[in-house]
Amino acid sequence: MNDISSKPDQDLDQIKFSKDENLNNLLTSVIHEVKSYADRLMNQIRKLSDIGRALSGVHDLNLLLEMIVDQARQFTNADAGTLYLIENNTLRFKIVQNDRLNIRMGGQTGEAIPFPPVELKESNVSAFVALKGISVNIPDVYDTDLFDFTGPKKFDKSTGYRSKSMLVVPLRNHENDIIGVLQLLNAQTSDTGEVIPFSPDYENLTESLASQAAVAVTTAKLISDMNQLFESFVQVMATAIDEKSPVTGGHIRRVANLTLTLAEVINDQKNGKFSEKHFNPAQMYELRIAAWMHDIGKVTTPVEIVEKAKKLQTIFDRIHYIRLRMEYLLQKVKLKGLQKKLEISQNGNDADALKRVDEEIEKKLAELLEIKEFIFHCNEPGEFLEDEKITRLQAIAKMTYVDEEGNEQPFLTADELKNLSIRRGSITEDERKKMQDHAAVTLKMLKQIPFTKKLQNIPHFAGAHHEFINGKGYPLGLKGDEIPFEGKLMAVTDIAEALTASDRPYKKAMPLEMVYKILRNMAKGEELDADLVELFISENVYDLYKGKYETNGSGAKGNGSSVEAEKEKASRS
């Protein structure tokens, strides 16, 4: 017999297998059928392989589940299909499709599936498959009493549909766990559309497809779980900062939301300088995580600096020390006056002398009270401290008194003088550097995290939110295009949030008019990106953010402070 394995069909008709023509025709017909079956089987296996590769590249669970049902129905030429996943010890509908009834629920369609979960009872065919881990192939659901098909029959009665052939296979992952069930309904002939039973070949190949699908679903869920784990890590870090300082925690959340709002506005630009700039979903996610983590380094910043509301404040406001000190001096003056008056009374009770003592006491008390009031005024961060006031503080610091132990003490210690002499705001240069260290610490901490490829820019973005266009920012002193666009964007939203925040102990919230003035002033000084600032203002980004994320209206009224003073306060964000 000739080799026929590689011969085309037309050549087979020319081969003579026997001198008996009838036998020859019979053999040729059989060979045609075998070859046709083999070709069909090879095509199915090839298609199954293609489907497997396609499934392995999809990690969006909704898209993946929809693709599994689509491919399985196409593979078996089934009119309808349903996919369940095991959740909370039930089978929950994830995909429902029916071509004849034009039904597509779940998956990318987003249409909710109204059917309740299926209890894991063996009387239900899908539950049976899930529990036993074996496939079930039924030629006609109306001609079997193996399972309870009350549900499908009610569905048929209400829709006019006729459920007939059914193939139900388990989704078994690489760990041999059943994670769900794929149910196909009404296999059809390719030419006439007649409903036929699912062939054993389709059953075997569908089981193979289901296994590949289960692995793909497990992988997608694992990736989703990893993303959720990472999200939880981000939230935990933000919570840690929040617990340390509610001021900072609120700032992180607001900056993240404000950043996303500005990014969404950029995506909506059809004309202008940002018309070609677009954040795809992956880039938006990366930006969101970077915004949530931009101040992660503040976990190392002393809380007394973060929340320093007064110049003398550390863990508590040391103005209380000065209050006690001044009260001691006031009482000491009064006591010394009383002693003098007692001596005068004992020596003849000279009325003029007593009057002079009273006047001297009142004068000294008035001087001390004025010094006390001046020091208290200097402790407030709201006003710019002029040279003459600093000179006055220095003079007060040189004044001394004798304590109860006979030791000479200054009116103000060197550290008190240093803090009270802060010209603007409430933190010293040393404290400012410590505050600014958070950007370097953020960069250092984030570089220790093995981010995935899609998140690899997070350290670069988050670590650049205090860089200035003119190169005078921190921590790296980047300038111009050395700063990533996302870093420039967060620099604008970070400053805007700091200026509008109403929960800062060292400042009041500002009205938007003043905020816009400060942002434009910083853009003019080449600190912030001028185009981003103008977009932020012209598109009312702050109002959009408030409408989407906040419910308490716009920021509180400002206190009329200068632009420079508010810029200094905003720099602590």
Q: pLDDT by residue (tens digit) across 412-458?
A: 988 888 888 888 777 667 777 766 677 888 888 889 988 888 899 99
Q: Helices 281-292 and 246-267 meet at what angle, rounded to 10?
A: 160
First to last CA, the chain: 88
Position with higher pLDDT, 399 vs 221: 399
% of residues, the chain, pLDDT over 70: 81
Q: Provide the pLDDT for residue 534.
A: 96
List, for residues 543-571, the tens digit of each pLDDT value: 999 999 875 444 434 444 444 444 544 55
Q: Which of 179, 279, 286 is nearest to 230 (CA)?
A: 286
Phi-psi region of 480 (alpha: psi -120 to 50; beta: other; left: phi over 0): left
Q: From start to end of 110-157, where are the E strands? A: 118-119, 136-138
> Taking a C-beta distance cutoff of 8 angstroms, is the pair 477, 436 a contact?
no
Q: Provide the pLDDT for residue 59.
A: 67
Q: Which of 66-70, 181-185, 387-391 has the highest mean pLDDT?
A: 181-185
CB atoms within 10 A of CB 178: 16
Classify domain 58-222 at the CATH topology level.
Beta-Lactamase (3.30.450)
Mean pLDDT of the chain: 83
CA-CA-CA-CA torsion sign (217, 220, 223, 228): negative
The residue type of 37 is: Y
Position with higher pLDDT, 229 vs 149: 149
Alpha-carbon span 14 to 340, nearest angstrom: 142
> In which band, very low, low, confident or very high, does the pLDDT at 350 lie, cut at 50, 70 and 90?
confident
Q: Is the pLDDT of residue 348 over 70?
A: yes
Q: Provide the pLDDT for residue 565.
A: 46
> Taking a C-beta distance cutoff of 8 angstroms, is the pair 471, 517 a contact?
no
Q: Provide the pLDDT for residue 309.
A: 65
Region of poorest pLDDT, from 85-89, 241-245, 294-298, 497-501 = 241-245
**By CB neighbour count within 10 A (0-12 exposed, 13-18 middle, 19+ buried), where does 6 fall?**
exposed
Q: Which of 93, 87, 92 is nearest to 106 (CA)?
A: 93
> Taking a C-beta distance cutoff of 8 angstroms, is the pair 340, 357 a contact?
yes
Q: Identical fold at 58-222 and 245-308+430-570?
A: no
Q: Provide the pLDDT for residue 238.
A: 72
Q: Provide the pLDDT for residue 557.
A: 40
The mean pLDDT value for 362-386 works out to 87
Q: Is the pLDDT of residue 1 over 60?
A: no
Q: Is the pLDDT of residue 269 over 80?
A: yes
Alpha-carbon span 294 to 317, nearest angstrom: 29
List, for residues 116-170, the tens digit of each pLDDT value: 999 999 999 999 999 999 999 999 999 999 999 998 999 999 999 999 999 999 9
**Is the bond preceding 116 in cis, omega lying within 30 degrees of 0?**
no
The mean pLDDT value for 41-58 works out to 61
- The CA–CA distances, whole Å, from 316 to 310, 320, 372, 420, 560 equal 9, 9, 19, 15, 27
**Residue 101 in 3-state DSSP?**
coil
**Residue 116 in 3-state DSSP?**
coil
Q: Is the pLDDT of residue 215 over 70?
A: yes
The mean pLDDT value for 380-385 works out to 75
Q: Provide the pLDDT for residue 554.
A: 40
Architecture field, domain 245-308+430-570: Orthogonal Bundle (1.10)
Alpha-carbon span 202 to 215, nearest angstrom: 20
The residue length of the chain stands at 573
The mean pLDDT value for 525-548 works out to 95
Position with higher pLDDT, 560 vs 256: 256
**Which residue has 């693709």 as its token pair?**
67
Alpha-carbon span 506 to 65, nearest angstrom: 53
% of residues, the chain, pLDDT over 90: 43
pTM value is 0.60
Alpha-carbon span 375 to 417, nearest angstrom: 10
> Taking a C-beta distance cutoff of 8 angstroms, is the pair 462, 449 a contact?
no
Q: Provide the pLDDT for residue 541.
A: 96
The domains of the chain are located at: 1-56, 58-222, 245-308+430-570, 319-423
**Structure tokens that stand for 538 in this block:** 């012209």
Q: Provide the pLDDT for residue 553.
A: 41
Q: Is the pLDDT of residue 81 over 70?
A: yes
**Structure tokens that stand for 568 in this block:** 């200094």
Q: Which DSSP letter does residue 109 get?
A: G
Alpha-carbon span 124 to 540, nearest angstrom: 57
Q: Helices 485-500 and 530-538 meet at what angle, rounded to 10?
A: 50
What is the SS3 assignment for 348-378? Answer: CCCHHHHHHHHHHHHHHHHHHHHHHHHHHHH
Region of poorest pLDDT, from 212-216, 417-421, 459-463 = 212-216
